[in-house]
Structure 1
Amino acid sequence: MPHMRLPSGQTAAIGLVLLSSLLYSLGYALSKRLIETWHFDAMQLFVLRSLLVVAGLFALHLTGLKRLSPLRLLSPPHPWIQRLAATALVLSAVLAMIGYGYLPVTTATAFSYLTPLLVTVLAAILLRERVPVQRWLAVALGFAGVLVIVHPGASAPAGAGHLIGVGAALGSAILYAIQQMLIRHSRDTMTTTDVVAQAAIVGLVLLGGAMPFVWRSVPVQAMLLVVAATAAQTGGLLTIAAAIRQGQISRLAPWQYGGMIWAMGLDLAMFGHTPGTVALSGAVMIVMGGLLSQIRLPSRLKPLEARR
């Protein structure tokens, strides 16, 4: 019989992935609220987020809770890889905010969760990770669950805004997969603090020039939501970076589909979108895909070439 066996640290990595998906879903749901209610531009929201992150890092440094070297911030190990990863993350986050602005949370999350498929493929090709057949089936099952959740009856009506949202969500997924691969490639030298700090610095450099054209005043109530969204998204970034550094990336990929379950809950709580039976069936498929990805077949059932 197939059995489930988790390598050392893998259970913790799975927990971090699930927590990350919850925090990211919450952060983007709050961003959607900011875009819909106050009509903020996605670039302004990311700049505000970056300023808060930089301020938080320096506050930790001043209190002695986190020792940060200014030299490491300006010139981290493998700087070009870190900055490339940060650039991919910045652009991915901005596109994701645009996608969430135009689409329901569940729909935007579903399109963006093409990332696990892309990560599994890239891990097999670039990192030479061995991806067993059942893990490919797990990813396919999870993606099928996504398609069930966003079946045509659940999608927003077609239109220019819908197409912009879909294109932004797809672009975000591709860039996020690239960022995860770069983190995994440099996990021995890139800390989770590096990931957060470089994303904030690169975000300010890339998007700062656009602020005179898109900036809106920020009321106190909106600023509180910005702080909450920043805390959630930064927490999501920290936990996914920690998970990737601990676990095999193709094994963790299907668990990222768990974000769909959080997205349905947030759609219900914050925007009044009630998931139906079909959507709940898709959520079950997503969980089954995550569990299937952890099953290892007995050696007698493995392909002959795998036993040689």
Structure 2
Amino acid sequence: MDGSIARPRPLLALGLRLLTALALTTMAMLVKLAGERGVHLIELIFWRQALTALLIGTGLAAAGRISLLRTQRLKMHSIRSGTGLFGMLFTYGAVLLLPLAEATTLGFTAPIFAVLIALVMFGEKIGPYRWAAVVIGFAGVLVVMQPGLESSGGEVTMFGVAVGLIAPFMVAIISFQIQDLNKTENPWSIVFWFAALSAPVAALGLPFVGAAHDAQTWITIAAMALMGVLAQILLTTSLRFGSAAVILLMDYTALLWATFYGYAVFDRAAPTTLWLGAPLIIGAGLLIAWRERQLAKAKRVASSASQE
């Protein structure tokens, strides 16, 4: 792909986002598995970013496509890297602190946070439909979480919930940043510079948390990093071909994979509260997406009428 603005292709974007959901959930499972084997959060982030930069850089160089990494927007890449690194601390932290299905479900609040960000940062007017979605979504969070209660072998704590809610807030911010970068940058460039600029920062913490690991743990770390590369490319490309407000809906399929991994890998069945609260959160996201489509359609009609 070149660095030009991509033509919108909604079906391709939706398909890519479905694969993104699977890749991200698989990566989260590997993060949790590595955490249980004694790998520190900072180690996980460093190896994820370092291996991503190494694999993309060497791969493009071998293919004679290193020019894809050229950029005139290093400052914006640096801002995205700082935001992304901060977001990874909470995204990975939520996976380590909470059961996988609950951490995944909290991630579904990203569209709700996107509405609030649009209000605060861009001064967008929020009508009753999207305010209702915000209320419904956070009601679902309360049902799912029930902080402090033991639930099918995994405790959901207030601290874990707080970390789990900051993570999707950061995802929403990053989605806006990636959409802006996609106007001029190639997806490979966006992913590479995020990894290359953030890995040295994460490396500063290694002397304090680094440890020796056995071969199986290193394989888990490597698999996590590889899955992270795939997920980042799929995510960035999906945002290149479709609107974040619409394709984020495909993320809800991650709950199926998280539930499967939770049972098959961690021997934990999803609790009843998850199945009661998740539809509220997903319903809120669907309502937001529907309203976004209605508003976009109204703007197009108004624009067409003004040109006649």
Specify the TM-score bucket, using the shorter chain as the normaliser.
0.7 to 0.9
Map 1:49-198 onto structure 2 (within 5 A). 49-64=48-63, 67-69=65-67, 72=70, 76-123=71-118, 148-151=143-146, 156-157=154-155, 162-198=157-193
For 2:105, what is the secondary structure of its paired residue?
A: helix
- Report the CA distance shift for 1:294/1:96 in structure 2 as closer, same or farther (over 3 A): closer
Cα RMSD over matched residues? Answer: 3.5
Larger CA deviation: 10-19 vs 140-149: 140-149
Asked if 1:48 is matched to 2:47, the reply is yes
- Please report how far the alpha carbon of residue 258 of structure 1 lies from its aligned counterpart in structure 2 after TM superposition: 2.9
- Report the CA distance shift for 1:217/1:227 in structure 2 as closer, same or farther (over 3 A): same
Paired with 1:246 and 1:293, the residues of 2 have a C-alpha distance of: 20
Letter of the structure 2 residue corresponding to residue 54 of structure 1: A
Letter of the structure 1 residue corresponding to residue 217 of structure 2: A
- Please report how far the alpha carbon of residue 183 of structure 1 lies from its aligned counterpart in structure 2 after TM superposition: 0.9
Residue matched to 2:229: 234
Residue matched to 1:29: 29
Q: What percentage of aligned pairs have identical amino acids?
A: 23
Asked if 1:13 is matched to 2:6, the reply is no
Residue matched to 1:222: 217
- Report the CA distance shift for 1:193/1:144 in structure 2 as closer, same or farther (over 3 A): farther
Letter of the structure 2 residue corresponding to residue 102 of structure 1: L
Q: Unaligned stretches of 5+ in structure 2?
A: 1-6
- Please report how far the alpha carbon of residue 98 of structure 1 lies from its aligned counterpart in structure 2 after TM superposition: 1.9
- Please report how far the alpha carbon of residue 276 of structure 1 lies from its aligned counterpart in structure 2 after TM superposition: 4.6
- Please report how far the alpha carbon of residue 110 of structure 1 lies from its aligned counterpart in structure 2 after TM superposition: 2.3
- Please report how far the alpha carbon of residue 58 of structure 1 lies from its aligned counterpart in structure 2 after TM superposition: 3.1
Letter of the structure 2 residue corresponding to residue 189 of structure 1: T
- Report the CA distance shift for 1:21/1:140 in structure 2 as closer, same or farther (over 3 A): farther
Cα deviation 1:29-81 (Å, max 9, x = unaligned) = 111111112x21111111112221122123313431x6114972xxx322111
- Report the CA distance shift for 1:296/1:98 in structure 2 as closer, same or farther (over 3 A): closer
Q: Unaligned stretches of 5+ in structure 1?
A: 1-6
Alpha carbons 2:69, 2:192 under 8 Å: kept: no
- Matched residues, number: 290
Paired with 1:23 and 1:298, the residues of 2 have a C-alpha distance of: 27
Alpha carbons 1:146, 1:286 under 8 Å: kept: yes
TM-score normalised according to structure 2 size: 0.78
